[in-house]
Structure 1
Amino acid sequence: MVGWKKPLGLVSALVLVFAVLVSAATITNVEWGNAITQPDVGYAADIIEGQPAVINVTIVKRDGQPFAPANFPPNVTLTVRGKFVDQYGNALDMNGDGVGDIYNFTNTTTPGLWTTTINISNVQPGMYTLRIDAVATNTTTGAVIDNATIEEQVWVAGGPYWVAIADVHDGEQVRIGSFNFTITSLSDVGAILTLPNLTALTLTDNDHTGILAFQRDVTGDGSNDWLMFVKSTGEDDNTVYNLYIYSKDASLLDKFNSSDVDFYRVKGDRIRFANRIFKDRNNYKAYVVWDNSPLAKLGLKAVDYYIVPVKGHDHWWERGAPAAHEDIKVIKRTTYLWGLFGNDKVVYEGNIFGKNVNIDNVINILGKFAGNGALFDTRSWRWDILRGMGDITIPNGYTLKSRELKDLAIDDDLWRGFNPLKTDKHGFFSESVDWSKLLGIDTGDESES
C-alpha cells in the first residue's frame, strides 16, 4: 500500500547531483562537515536549520593543476561562491532577512581545496539546490579565463528532532500531546485541516514542490514547529502523503506515546492493532501472533508467528525526509502434538517503514511511524530512529501478545510446547532459526549501536 519514496516535484529525484555546467575548470569533490548525513548514491546531504555545516570543495584548473592562486598569474583573481537558487538561478534568502544569501569560500593551505560554513535559519524545511561557482578573472581585462559550476541537492531539516508518519489520509486525526487536528481533505490541490477550535486551515502548493507546510507550537515550548505533508509515490505508483513534524524540542518524540495513540480497530474478521511500539530508545519489543484455532487449542496443530525487531543502528536508520529504514524478522513456527513435531522458518526479513507487508495472507505489518533525533558525536553525525511504531493486522482467530525483546527468551507462555531458548533439541522438531542470535543473547548486545 505504501512505499517510502522520494517526494515528487522537488527536482524530480532527491539525488546527489554533480552537474558540470562549464567544460573548463572542474569541481571534483564536495565534502560536508557537520552535515547530519553525508551525500551518497541516491541520497542528498542533510543539514539542520540552526546547525552550522562546513562544506569543502576540491577544484582543478582546465590543465589539471589545483585551482589555487599559486597556479595563476598575479593579475588573476579567484572567487568561489555558493548560493541556494530558485528555478531561475536567483539566490534564495536562507536566513529570513529578505536578502539572497551568498557563501564565500576561502582557499585553504591545501592547494585547490576551498571551504566555507553554511548556517541556515528561518526557512521552510525541504529540498534545496546549492549552486557553487568557481571563477578565475583577469583583473586587467575583466575576462574570465577559467571557471566551473556544480549543483548539489541538499535537504534542510527543520530541527534536530522530527517524526515521520507514513501514508496519512483524509479523515485521520493527528495528535501530538495536547495539539491535534483532523485532515479534512488532502490532495494535489492542497489540504484542509480542522484545528482544535474547529477553525479550518487551508494549505496550498503554490510553488509546485509537493510540500504543504504550516507552523504551530506542538511541544509547548513557546517556539513554532514545522508540520509538512510531503507528496510521495506508493508501492503501486499511487500518490501518497507522508507527514513530517520538525522541532528543536526533544520532548517532541515523547508527545507520541503509547497512551495517546495505542488502540485497535475491528474490520470484518480482522483486527488492526495500531501504533504498536517496535523500538523505544534502547528497548525493543517483539510480538507473537498466537493461534487460537480449535486445532491449536487441542494441541494438534498450531501456526504461530513471531515478529522480532532486529537490534542496532544498522537496522534502524534514517536519511532525513527521503527515507527511513526499520528492520524486522517474522518467524513462522508450526507445531504438532504440543510441539513434539514441527518446524520454524523466517518468512520475512527486511524494512517495514512505509510498506504494507503481507505475511502468508495472515498478518499485515505497516511501519507507520519513526521518531528521529540527531546524534552529534565525534564519530559521525547521523539521525537515530529513537522510536519506531507500526500497525499489525491479524485475523480474529489469533491473539496478539507482546514482550520486551529481552524477556521473550524467559517467558515460557509465549512458546508452544517448549521454549527453544531453554531447550537445545526437542522431540522431532526441526529448527532452522538461531533464536539466541536473533534476540542478541549470545552477543550481549543490549545497547544502542
Structure 2
Amino acid sequence: MRKVGVVLVFVILLGVISVARAATITNEVWSNAIVDPGVELVPGVPAELNITIVSSNGEPFTAATFPNADSITVSGKFVDEYGNAIDVTGDGNPDIFSFTEATDTPGLWRVTINVTNVTPGLYTFRIQAIAQNSTTGEVFDNVTVDRQVWIAGGSYWVAKADVKDGDTVEIGSLSFTIRGLSDLGAILDLGNLSTQTITDTDRDGIFSWQYDVTGDKTNDWLVFSKSSDDDDRFVLLVYSNDASLLDNVNLQEDVVRAKGDRITFRNKLLKDRSNYKAYVVWDESWLAKLGLKAVDYYIIPQQGRDHWKEGWGTVERMDVRVIKRTTYLFGLIAKEEEVFSGNIWAKNVNIDNLIRVFGRWVGNAAYLGRGTWEILKGYADITIPSSYSLRERSINELAYSSEDFRWFNPILKPDKASLDWKSILGIEDEEEE
C-alpha cells in the first residue's frame, strides 16, 4: 500500500507541475503613450500595445501550436480590487480590449487602447491569454499578468507641492482656499459663500474634481494626491488638454521673512522651456566687503529634459546643483565645491544650515513621440540669511558676468578654478574654424 501511495502522490504532483506551466509574455512595447519611468495613458489619445507571447513549450502562442484548440484569445482590461473589469471609456459599461494577432509574425499580438473621461490615477491593467477547446473546456495554455498604468487627465498638467489646509490657490479662472484637507477629502472655498466638497471615496489618498480651469468650455481635472513625505501635506495636480494651462498659473514672487534672520523668496523661476535661471546667494557680510573672506553660493538648474521629468502622477526629476565658492584675501585664495546635486521637488534641501531650496511648482507637457513628459516650467522657494542677497541671472548672463563672481570669473579664467564651470553651466566650447 505504501508503494501505491507513493505512486499516487507522484502522479498528483506531476499533474500539479503540468498545470503550473504557463505561457509567458516576453516583450511589451507601448506606442503613443508615456513609458518613462512607467506606462501612462493620456485620455483621448489612442495608445497601441504590442506583446509577444510564448507558449509553455517555447513555441509562439498561435493556432498552429495548439491543433486541438478552437479558441485562442488575448484580452486586456482595467480591473478593480476584485478583478472585475471597469469602465474607462465613459459609456457606463465595463471595457474589455481584444488583441489581434499579427498576420506576419506568429505570437505577436496588438491592441489599441483609448481611454476617455476617466478619473486620473493609478490603475491595474490585466492581460489574459488562453488557448482552449470551447466544447470540452480543456485549457491547453494560458497566461495572466497585471501591469500598473497611470491614467493622466490631459496632455498638460501643473503640480504644486506642499499643499496644506488653509492654502489659497489661483489657476486660470479658478481661485479657492482649501478647508478641511485630510485623508477623507477636502472642502474648497470658492468665495461668495460657495464651496465644493471633494471626497476620497476609495481611501487611496487620491481625490479629484472636474472644473473648467482654462476657460475653453471643457472640464479639467484637479487631483489631490497625498504626499509620501508628510501625512498632512498633499500634491495638487491640475490636468488639461489646453496648452494655455502652463501660463495660467498665477504665481507671485513673494518675499517673506521667515523665522529669525531668514528671508524666503517664493516662486523663483528655474526653467521656462529652454530658458534656465540661476541664482547667486551673495555674501554681504563685513568680512566679504573687506575682501578678507566671502562664502557665495550658486544655485544652478541642470539643463536637459532628463533632469526635468514627470512620472506616474508625480515629479521624478527637478534637478539643480549648488556650488559653494569661498574666497580669501582679495581672491588670492579661492575654494570651490559642489555641496548639492539632485532633485529638489517637494524637498526642503538644506545647504550648510544656511540656505534652503524647495521645489514647489512645475508645469508639464506630454511628448508622446519620445514617450516622456517634460517639465516646461519649474519654480522653487529659496530661503537665505539676511546677511546675504539673492541675484537672478540667466545661464548665459552668469557665465560671462564680471559682477557675480568675486575677484575673478572661473569660466573666463579656468586655470584659477577648481571646478569645470562650463560643464556645470552647460556651456559648450565654441568650435574653432
- The TM-score with structure 2 as length reference comes to 0.91
Q: Supply the distance in 1 between the matched residues of 2:430 and 2:120 (Cα, whole angstroms).
A: 39
1:411 and 2:401 aligned = yes
Letter in 2 for 1:67: F
Please name the residue that 1:30 is paired with. Answer: 28
> Partner of 2:382: helix, strand, or coil?
strand
Please name the residue that 1:6 is paired with. Answer: none
CA apart distance, 1:98: 0.5
Q: Supply the distance in 2 between the matched residues of 1:97 and 1:318 (Cα, whole angstroms).
A: 30
- Mean Cα deviation higher: 222-231 or 309-318: 309-318
Please name the residue that 1:244 is paired with. Answer: 237
Higher share of residues assigned helix: 2
Checking the alignment, whether the CA contact within 8 Å between 2:325 and 2:334 is kept in structure 1 is: yes
> Partner of 2:408: helix, strand, or coil?
coil
Letter in 2 for 1:253: L
Please name the residue that 2:255 is paired with. Answer: 264
1:256-277 deviation line (CA, Å, top 9, x unaligned): 26xx322121123111111111
> Partner of 1:182: helix, strand, or coil?
strand
Q: In 2 relative to 1, CA 393–22 (structure 1 residues): closer, same or farther, beyond 3 Å? A: farther
Please name the residue that 1:437 is paired with. Answer: 423
Letter in 2 for 1:51: V
Please name the residue that 2:6 is paired with. Answer: none
1:360 and 2:352 aligned = yes
Q: In 2 relative to 1, CA 249–110 (structure 1 residues): closer, same or farther, beyond 3 Å? A: same
- Choose 1 or 2 for highest CA Rg: 2
| Residue number among 41, 60, 63 corresponding to 1:66 in the alignment | 60
Checking the alignment, whether the CA contact within 8 Å between 1:22 and 1:148 is kept in structure 2 is: no
Please name the residue that 1:14 is paired with. Answer: none
| Residue number among 116, 121, 130 corresponding to 1:121 in the alignment | 116
Checking the alignment, whether the CA contact within 8 Å between 1:22 and 1:147 is kept in structure 2 is: no
1:200 and 2:195 aligned = yes
Please name the residue that 1:5 is paired with. Answer: none
Please name the residue that 2:204 is paired with. Answer: 209
Letter in 2 for 1:184: R
Q: How does 1:224-243 map to 2 (within 5 A)?
A: 224-234=219-229, 238=231, 240-243=233-236
Q: Supply the distance in 1 between the matched residues of 2:93 and 2:34 (Cα, whole angstroms).
A: 26
Q: How does 1:289-438 map to 2 (within 5 A)?
A: 289-377=281-369, 380-425=370-415, 431-438=417-424
Letter in 2 for 1:87: E
Checking the alignment, whether the CA contact within 8 Å between 1:179 and 1:196 is kept in structure 2 is: no
Q: Supply the distance in 1 between the matched residues of 2:82 and 2:220 (Cα, whole angstroms).
A: 29
Compute the RMSD of aligned alpha carbons. 1.9
Q: Supply the distance in 2 between the matched residues of 1:22 and 1:129 (Cα, whole angstroms).
A: 23
| Residue number among 270, 288, 307 corresponding to 1:278 in the alignment | 270
Q: Supply the distance in 1 between the matched residues of 2:281 and 2:306 (Cα, whole angstroms).
A: 26
CA apart distance, 1:140: 3.2
CA apart distance, 1:423: 2.7
Q: Supply the distance in 2 between the matched residues of 1:94 and 1:443 (Cα, whole angstroms).
A: 51
| Residue number among 271, 277, 287 corresponding to 2:279 in the alignment | 287
> Partner of 1:284: helix, strand, or coil?
strand
Please name the residue that 1:218 is paired with. Answer: 213
Q: Supply the distance in 2 between the matched residues of 1:238 and 1:222 (Cα, whole angstroms).
A: 35
> Partner of 1:93: helix, strand, or coil?
coil
Letter in 2 for 1:30: E
Letter in 1 for 2:92: G
Checking the alignment, whether the CA contact within 8 Å between 1:159 and 1:248 is kept in structure 2 is: yes
Q: Supply the distance in 2 between the matched residues of 1:107 and 1:441 (Cα, whole angstroms).
A: 50
Q: Supply the distance in 2 between the matched residues of 1:393 and 1:279 (Cα, whole angstroms).
A: 18
Q: Supply the distance in 1 between the matched residues of 2:146 and 2:137 (Cα, whole angstroms).
A: 25
State percent identity of aligned pairs.
53
CA apart distance, 1:337: 2.4
> Partner of 2:403: helix, strand, or coil?
helix
Q: In 2 relative to 1, CA 253–26 (structure 1 residues): closer, same or farther, beyond 3 Å? A: same
1:28-67 deviation line (CA, Å, top 9, x unaligned): 33221211225xxxx5311111111111122122222111
> Partner of 2:94: helix, strand, or coil?
coil
Letter in 1 for 2:307: H
How many pairs are equivalent? 411
Checking the alignment, whether the CA contact within 8 Å between 1:320 and 1:383 is kept in structure 2 is: no
Structure 1, unaligned runs of 5 or more: 1-20
Checking the alignment, whether the CA contact within 8 Å between 1:177 and 1:255 is kept in structure 2 is: yes
Q: Supply the distance in 2 between the matched residues of 1:323 and 1:422 (Cα, whole angstroms).
A: 36
Of structures 1 and 2, the one with the larger relative CO (CA 8 A, separation 6+) is 1
1:133 and 2:125 aligned = no
Letter in 1 for 2:303: K
Checking the alignment, whether the CA contact within 8 Å between 2:77 and 2:85 is kept in structure 1 is: yes
Q: In 2 relative to 1, CA 99–154 (structure 1 residues): closer, same or farther, beyond 3 Å? A: same
- The TM-score with structure 1 as length reference comes to 0.87
